[in-house]
Amino acid sequence: MVEIVHRPALPLPLSPEQVDAGWLSRALGQTTPGAVVAAADIVDIVWGTSTKIRVRVDGHDGQGAALPATLIVKGGFEEHSPRMAAMYANEARFYADIQPHVPMPSPRCWFAGSDPASHQSIVIMEDLRRDGLAFCDPLQPQDFEPIARRLEVMAGYHAATWQSPRFEPGGSWSDIHSRFESWGLDYMRRYLVADVWAHYMASPRGAAVSRRFHDRAWMERALLRIGEIQHAQPRCLIHGDTHLGNLYVAEDGTPGFFDAQVARTAWHHEVSYHIVCAADLADRAEWERPLLDRYLRAMARHGVALDAEAAWLDYRRSIAWGLFIFLTNEVRFQTESVNTAYAARFSQAALDHELKELLP
């Protein structure tokens, strides 16, 4: 991966206490020359897979304009963070090298960098907590139109990166992999170990999923088969984790995306994942074909024509990925209630589409 910070911001902070006015000035100065933070106070800390530190700042941008009253500093500040280095670097990479080139509405980035001497990658971004902006809730499925509108936005950035020359050897995105390569494949295999798998099948989300999907050997074969299918198809850049907890709606109704874990893969990997995550159990079966049609029409407007019947088959097979993710998702990533809700949605979709017959 190309190094995406300059030396003055290194080393990156490894504890919240190190996020002070001096370091913030050095970091912000790399993207906003002359920026100065005179004072910085931590308002609150949201611990998680990645930790979000809300910082109140007093400073200016080098042109005399005041900096925002608060900024979010996001990075790996927990005991588990060294194991998540690839994930942190991937998100920093999105803000530094991808966000400027794709039409994906997302928070303004003030700094994004990775430290080659540690596990740390940090993003300094705008604080989205403001009147009129709504965060989506994994436990509150959405209506048809918000889902359809978000799919149309997805079509915009999928089409903009369709078979991009940046993916070619020597291109700036050539090192971005699918979910079935590199660290994504390592992540997947970690949860397919027999005793790890058994642990999750005995959990509440395991009880919420049909027992026919407790078959570890089938799940492993199904995932590898999906990887083969996607590898043979045209690929584009996807956000990588479009469940409701990573989404928001701006004041003007524009769908927004954060916590990107970008991948280079087939479009349906993301579209299937989002529709099943976002729709209520009672609505998804009725809505999914019309929602897919909205996406396909949007892609056509952007110059990418996809066969509707082939797309429907691809959409259905890719349900296996979301089923696997929320069957094995750790509670340090999402609460058990969220994992259980999503696992139930994917299990019902897998039953409705006879997934084991689609991926025998």
Summarised one tens digit per residue, pLDDT across range 126-181 is: 999 999 999 999 999 999 999 999 999 999 999 999 999 999 999 999 999 898 88
Q: 237 - beta bridge partners?
A: 264
Are 107 and 170 in a shared domain?
no
Host domain of residue 42: 7-126
Q: Check residue 138 and report its DSSP letter.
A: T
pLDDT tens per residue across span 299-350: 999 999 999 999 999 999 999 999 999 999 999 889 999 999 999 999 999 9
pTM above 0.75, yes or no: yes
| Residue 34 located in a structural domain | yes
User: Of the spans 7-21, 48-62, 344-358, which averages the highest pLDDT?
Assistant: 344-358
For residue 331, give the 3-state DSSP assignment: coil
The encoded tokens of residue 129 equal 């907590």
Cβ 160 vs Cβ 302: under 8 Å: yes
Mean pLDDT of the 96-114 span: 95
pLDDT score at 185: 85
| CATH number of the domain encompassing residue 47 | 3.30.200
Q: What is the pLDDT of residue 5?
A: 43
Structure tokens at 279: 């729709």
Q: Which of 87, 110, 126 is the last residue of a domain?
A: 126
Element (H, E) at 114: strand 109-114
Query: Directed axis angle between helix 267-278 and helix 336-352, to 10°?
Result: 110
One domain for residues 95 and 215: no
Domains in the chain, number: 2
